[in-house]
Structure formats: C-alpha cells, structure tokens
Amino acid sequence: MLRRVALLAVPGVAPFEFGVVCEAFGIDRSEMGGPSFDFSIVTAEPGPVPTSLGYDMMIQAGLESAYAADLIAVPAHRIDDDVHPQVVDVLRDAVERGAWVLSVCSGAFTLAKAGLLDGRRATTHWMHAARLATEFPTIEVDPDVLFVEDGNVVTSAGTAAGIDACLHLIRKELGAASANVVARRMVVPPQRDGGQSQYIANPIPAQQTDSFAAVTDWMLKNLDQDLTVDQLAKRAIMSPRTFARRFKAELGATPGAWLNRQRLLRAQELLEQSDLPLDAVAAESGFGTAAVMRHHFARTLATTPAAYRRTFCVQSA
C-alpha cells in the first residue's frame, strides 16, 4: 500500500516539477474522500539546496526516512551533475526492497546514473531522450510516451507528464476513486491518452479542439451505445477518414482506443462505488458482456474486474 512518500531534493532541482510531486502527494485530501500520505522532503546534505532558477530551498531532513518510504520521487534537475553516493544507495535500496521509484522529466538521468534503468524501458522529456539513449545504451528509451512503468520503476516525460505518472501510481495503488479526487483538486484530467508526439508536432487550431470537445462529451454520455467512426464523424461533420485522422492527431489515440479507455475508467468507477453485477457493469460501461470487460481489464490493468472490486470497492472498505 502506498502510504509513505519521500521527495528527493537534489542540486539544480526544477521548482515546477518539484511542486508537481508536492501537489500530488503532499496534501491531505482525506476530507474529500481522497488519500493522505506520510510525505517528506529529503536531501543528501541537509541545508540550502540550489534550484535551477538560481534560488535556494532550505531542506532540513536527510535521507533517513527515505529508506522506509513506499515511494521515492526524483523531480527534474540539471542533468550534468554527479549523483551523490548516498542518493545512489537509497534509490538502489528502494528498488531492491520493492518500493516504487518515480522520476519526472530529467530526473530519469539520476535513475540512470544509479544503474536503476539498465535493461529497462524508460522515458524522459523528448528534448533529452536522444541523450539518455546515447549515454546509457542499455536503456530502452521510448520518447513517444507520457510515462513508463517497468517493474517498480516509473519514469515520466516533461512537466505535465509527471502529473500523469503520479496519478497513475495513486490509481494503481489506491484505486480510481482516490486518483479522481487528487485530479479534481489539481484541476487536471484523471487520465490522459496519447504521448509526447502530441507536443512536438505543429499545434492544432483551437476550432478543432472545440469541435472534438463536443463529440467527446457526447461519447462520454453514451458509452453504453455501439459507437462507430461513421456515426461519430457524422456528428463532427467530417468524413470518417478525416475524423479518424484528426481525432488521433489531436487526442493522441484512435477513436476506438480512446473510447475503450473511457469505458475502462467508467467500469472501474462502477466496480468501486456500486454493487452492480459484473454483467450490468459491462453493459453500462459499454463493454457489452462481462467476458469482453475481463479481456480489457486483463490487457490494460493486469487483473480481473472481480479482483479489482475486492481491492478497491468503497462499500467493502
């Protein structure tokens, strides 16, 4: 169970990415029905820690509490600096004892220098991906995703992708309801589809965003219906081919993949917050049958709907 979280402050830390982890794990949201973590900020040498913007943060705690943390988070920082030997030790210890280790953006370089990414798939900000792959050839660097979970190590891409990775861990450990509370408080989507390629290519005109917002809102209200590309394209006043192409370019996923993700999220919500039979959950979320729903749970969440309900059902908590 994810309860104790240690955020690592290293010289040259980026304040925004540092703040992302603080926002995700450092606020008590129990009054809203969300999680509360035993959150600490630690550093190898307590005292002033310089940031990437030229001012210092005063960090009073050493690394002692990190050795008992369920999660150690490494935010973005300058990538040319050496890694403190004690930081290497505490990160390796975390991986060996089965705790989570999370990096945001260029924080992946600390994990790489500690040897934690050898033989693993990982990501970082698209601007640094080629360098990470060149300097650490044993890492399978994927520059096109928002985050990667490989074993108990999670690496995320730039800035906002760190939010995605934090919410992913909360969802995986505590359930979709907890992740939704945190996301609502942060005013961000509880789960995004797509990858970094959305942010490298040319921007999409705002008028396309407006048109797809109307279609996706309608899709969310009709998840239990048999929605086809032809039907959705007609609502968007586009040809099916144009609709499919522009939908993927803007939202980072095909209409079918996006729809399946939303149906999965709806099924998770129903399993957590209702006592509906599995067939009814499958019908209401749009999977049709419990067998089809089990297939998607196994492929995406590596579990079954029944097991998910036993773990996260609010009524049985």
In this prediction, residue 11 carries a pLDDT of 95
In this prediction, residue 205 carries a pLDDT of 37
pLDDT range class, residue 197, cuts 50, 70, 90? very low
Between strands 71-74 and 147-150, the pairing is: unpaired
Number of residues assigned to the chain:
317
Contact 101, 94 (CB under 8 A): yes
Closest CA to 306 of 266, 263, 267, 257: 267
Q: Which residues pair with 100 in a beta bridge?
A: 71
Helix (H), strand (E) at residue 92? helix 85-96
User: Within 274-312, where are the H helices?
Assistant: 278-285, 290-301, 305-312
Angle subtended at Cα 238 by Cα 235 and Cα 239, rounded to the nearest 5 degrees? 115
Convert the pLDDT of each residue in 270-296 to its tens digit. Answer: 998 899 999 999 999 999 999 999 999
In this prediction, residue 250 carries a pLDDT of 81
Return the CATH number of 4-186, one of 3.60.10.10, 3.30.70.260, 3.50.50.100, 3.40.50.880: 3.40.50.880
pLDDT(210) > 60: no
pLDDT range class, residue 196, cuts 50, 70, 90? low
Residues 6 or more apart whose CB falls under 8 angstroms from that of 41 comprise 6, 7, 9, 22, 59, 61
- Give the distance from CA 111 to its chain's centroid: 18
* pTM reported for the whole predicted model: 0.71
Q: Which residues pair with 222 in a beta bridge?
A: none
Higher pLDDT, residue 316 or 201: 316
User: Within 141-205, where are the H helices?
Assistant: 160-174, 176-186
CA distance 281 to 294: 11
Beta strands in the chain (DSSP E): 4-8, 38-42, 47-50, 56-59, 71-74, 100-104, 121-122, 140-141, 147-150, 153-156
Contact 79, 107 (CB under 8 A): no
In this prediction, residue 192 carries a pLDDT of 63
Task: State percent of the chain over pLDDT 70.
Answer: 91
pLDDT range class, residue 13, cuts 50, 70, 90? very high
Q: List the CATH code of the domain at 205-317.
A: 1.10.10.60
CA distance 212 to 218: 10
In this prediction, residue 151 carries a pLDDT of 95
pLDDT(25) > 70: yes
pLDDT(199) > 50: no
Q: Where are the domains of the chain?
A: 4-186, 205-317
Convert the pLDDT of each residue in 214-272 to its tens digit. Answer: 899 999 999 999 999 999 999 999 999 999 999 888 877 899 988 998 999 899 889 98
Convert the pLDDT of each residue in 98-147 to its tens digit. Answer: 999 999 999 999 999 999 999 999 999 989 999 999 999 999 999 888 89
255-273 vs 176-186: helix crossing angle, rounded to 10: 110
Computed over every residue of the chain, the mean pLDDT equals 89
CA distance 257 to 269: 19
